[in-house]
């Protein structure tokens, strides 16, 4: 039977590669993005997240087999917290009841190697324990202190921590829904293209994210891993952050931290 899979960020990069791979494998994809997809919605705001959930459910027509949240931004701005944390959590929680009714439901998110790097602990704590208003206020304060660059790693760390807790809860594992993350290193997409224009930036990036195995990845590499996570074959993996990063995480954290 054709599986129906919602993919956010489907207009570009990893989400677009995933949507294409799923479609060529016979699945039906409902893309969610700011433009050029089946469902147009802005995941940075609560109304946009509600519109995304409604739009996916309408398009799905009563059956939703999997959700993959790829949409993300890497700006040194509070919008990064709004999209990468609240946009993902809002979409997944909104679609969870529909997933729970599917015969083999699956869900996955896109983290990042950045989630293991220096971050703003107050912003992460506010995401996990506070309100969105509080998290955004703390993110604005970080920008005012010229620490906006910590917001992307903070968003991805908070997302990984939320995912690991949610994945083993009654709502996800208890409802038979495997929930996991793929955490890429550097992927060649629109998000990183500007960085490659500046050789000094490439040097900084390669030092921050060393990728001894095959270097920078194409988006289809990450899409392949996501595809398996949401396939019927993944019946027992829950709460895992899978680093598809050319060896960056093992290089940076070393052999003891696994």
Among all residues, which ones are annotated catalytic?
Answer: 152
Nearest distance, CB of residue 128 and ligand NAI, angstroms = 18
Q: Per-residue x/- marks for ligand NAI, 120-149, CB under 6 A?
A: ------------------------------
CA distance 230 to 178: 8
CA angle 51, 53, 54 (to 5 degrees): 65
Nearer to ligand NAI, 4 or 209 (CB): 209
CA distance 158 to 165: 11
CA distance 176 to 168: 10
Q: What is the CA radius of gyration of the chain?
A: 17
- 236: helix, strand or coil: coil
Quick one: which of 20, 21, 28, 34 contacts ligand NAI (CB under 6 A)?
Answer: 34
Binding of ligand NAI by 43 (CB under 6 A): yes
Quick one: which of 6, 12, 227, 238 contacts ligand NAI (CB under 6 A)?
Answer: 12
Nearest distance, CB of residue 81 and ligand NAI, angstroms = 12
Quick one: which of 186, 221, 225, 230 contacts ligand NAI (CB under 6 A)?
Answer: 186
- In which order are the strands placed within the sheet that holds 179-184? 39-40, 28-33, 4-8, 66-69, 106-110, 179-184, 241-244
Nearer to ligand NAI, 100 or 183 (CB): 183
Task: Map the footprint of ligand NAI across residues 74-113, applying CB under 6 A.
Answer: 74, 83-84, 110, 112
Binding of ligand NAI by 187 (CB under 6 A): yes
| Extended strands (E) in the chain | 4-8, 28-33, 39-40, 66-69, 106-110, 179-184, 241-244
Quick one: which of 4, 22, 57, 73 contacts ligand NAI (CB under 6 A)?
Answer: 73
CA distances from 204 to 14, 221, 235 (A): 23, 23, 39
Quick one: which of 33, 38, 120, 249 contacts ligand NAI (CB under 6 A)?
Answer: 33
Residues lying near ligand NAI in the complex (CB under 6 A): 9, 11-15, 33-34, 42-44, 70-74, 83-84, 110, 112, 184, 186-187, 189-192, 219
């Amino acid at each position: 039977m054709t599986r129906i899979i919602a993919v956010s960020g489907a207009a570009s990069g990893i989400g677009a590669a995933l949507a294409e791979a799923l479609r060529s494998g016979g699945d039906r994809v409902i893309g969610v993005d700011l433009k050029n997809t089946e469902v147009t919605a802005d995941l940075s705001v609560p109304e946009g997240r509600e519109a995304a959930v409604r739009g996916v459910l309408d398009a799905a027509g009563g059956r939703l087999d999997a959700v993959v949240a790829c949409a993300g931004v890497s700006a040194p701005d509070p919008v990064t917290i709004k999209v990468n944390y609240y946009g993902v959590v809002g979409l997944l929680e909104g679609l969870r009841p529909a997933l729970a009714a599917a015969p083999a439901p699956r869900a996955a998110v896109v983290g990042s190697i950045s989630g293991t790097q220096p971050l703003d602990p107050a912003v992460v704590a506010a995401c996990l324990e506070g309100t969105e208003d509080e998290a955004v206020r703390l993110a604005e304060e970080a920008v005012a202190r010229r620490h906006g660059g910590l917001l992307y790693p903070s968003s991805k760390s908070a997302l990984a921590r939320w995912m690991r807790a949610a994945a083993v809860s009654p709502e996800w594992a208890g409802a038979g829904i495997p929930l996991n993350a793929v955490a890429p290193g550097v992927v060649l997409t629109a998000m990183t293209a500007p960085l490659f224009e500046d050789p000094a930036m490439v040097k900084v990036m390669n030092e921050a994210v060393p990728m001894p195995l095959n270097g920078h990845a194409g988006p289809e590499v990450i899409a392949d891993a996501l595809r398996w996570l949401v396939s019927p074959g993944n019946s027992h993996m829950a709460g895992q952050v899978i680093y598809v990063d050319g060896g960056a995480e093992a290089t940076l954290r070393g052999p003891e931290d696994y």
